A and B are shown apart, each in its own frame.
Chain A
Amino acid sequence: MSDHPHDYYAKKKHGHDHDHEEHAPIEERDEGPPSEFEIMSRAMQELLEEKGAVTAEQVRRRMELFEEELPYRGSRVVAHAWTDPEFKKRLLDDGKAACTEFGIDLEADRLIAVENTPEVHNVIVCTLCSCYPRALLGMPPTWYKSTNYRSRVVFEPRAVLKEFGTVLPDRVTVRVHDSNADMRYVVIPMRPKGTEGWSEERLAAILTRDTLVGVTVPRVDAAT
């Protein structure tokens, strides 16, 4: 968001042809010409502001929320599930209802929580684009949206997990979830030994984003 729309457009040359049919790779762009969707989104916001439907402040607040609050919700929910087995059961039964009970509104997102056990390790991907539980984890990391991760984790998950430092023995089932339609997913990792008696806040600190996507597991030594 620029305070100077004219500077914004001057910086970016126009004329980019971006047709949905061809489905260009999903990637973040911060240079070159603005995409059709950037222009559309900007025009839409200006129109909605003119008509009094939203204010720039509301949009700014929403963006701030995405960076300041949303990324920490997932850790708090799962830390609570670690300390309250009944809540964990409800989270596994109906992720959205459990989050609502915990005071987190997932808005349009439907949530499926999947639990890691000594027998099963879960990992999440969206092969079609970058579907991600944004209301719980904020914006997806760049690697989650990369073609490399999206195309490889479905057919060689163990090799990809190894690149993230996660080596699983063959006796553990690797369960890949392709988040390809309307549901969103979060992994409930196994609570590591050595965390007995920890507060939910301290537990949340080792429940990093990557542990909730399932590319790694929580480590006691990750806490500071």
Chain B
Amino acid sequence: MTPGLRTRGAAPFPSTYAPAPGHRFKVGERVAVKRRFPPGHRRTPHYIRGKTGVIERICGAFPNPEELAYGFDGEPKKVLYRVRFAQTSVWPAYRGPARDLIEMEIFEHWLEPA
């Protein structure tokens, strides 16, 4: 972050992001995590970008952490999902059995249908 852009205790001001669409994915639906590497504060770990999994549950809508990190108010909220991945599909060199799983929370704007 450019130090000059830090808000240092100032009240958050409204986000300039366009509103998110409603719940786009259903539990059990196959989704792919976007393989993109924009700069900034992202809660989508690099290792999961580009991987395909299944929606495990819908956690609800939460303030957008990509905005909160820079002093915005995180509005509009973004839909947060838990996505389940087969370990062998995440790590080509995974040494455990094919049944092993890894799950994590991914915001809707990081997901696309698979």
Instruction: Write the residues of chain A forming the contact surface with B, with a CB cutoff of 8 angstroms.
Output: 19-21, 44, 110, 112, 127-128, 154-159, 170-171, 173-183
Contacts and interface: CB of A to CB of B under 8 A. Distances in A.
Nearest to B69: A20
A157 B96 CA distance: 8
Given A175-B103, A183-B105, A170 B97 contact: yes
Given A178-B103, A181-B104, A181-B106, 12 more contacts: A20-B6, A110-B59, A110-B60, A154-B102, A173-B97, A175-B101, A175-B102, A176-B103, A180-B44, A180-B105, A181-B107, A182-B105
B1 A21 contact: yes
Contacts, number: 86
Interface string B64-92: 01000000000000001010000100110
Q: How would you classify the secondary structure of chain A's contact residues: helix, strand, loop or mixed?
A: mixed
B100 A174 contact: yes
B99 interface: yes
B3 interface: yes
A182 B59 contact: yes
B13 interface: no
B96 A170 contact: yes
Given A19-B3, A110-B59, A180 B100 contact: no
Contacts of B82: 112, 183
B65 A181 contact: yes
Interface of B: 1-3, 6, 9, 43-45, 47-48, 59-60, 62, 65, 80, 82, 87, 90-91, 93-97, 99-107
Q: How would you classify the secondary structure of chain B's contact residues: helix, strand, loop or mixed?
A: mixed
A180 B103 contact: no
Contacts of B62: 181-182
B80 A174 contact: no
Contacts of B106: 181
Contacts of B3: 19
Contacts of B101: 173-176
A122 to B, nearest CB: 9
Contacts of A21: 1-2
Nearest to B70: A20
B102 A178 contact: yes
B45 A180 contact: yes
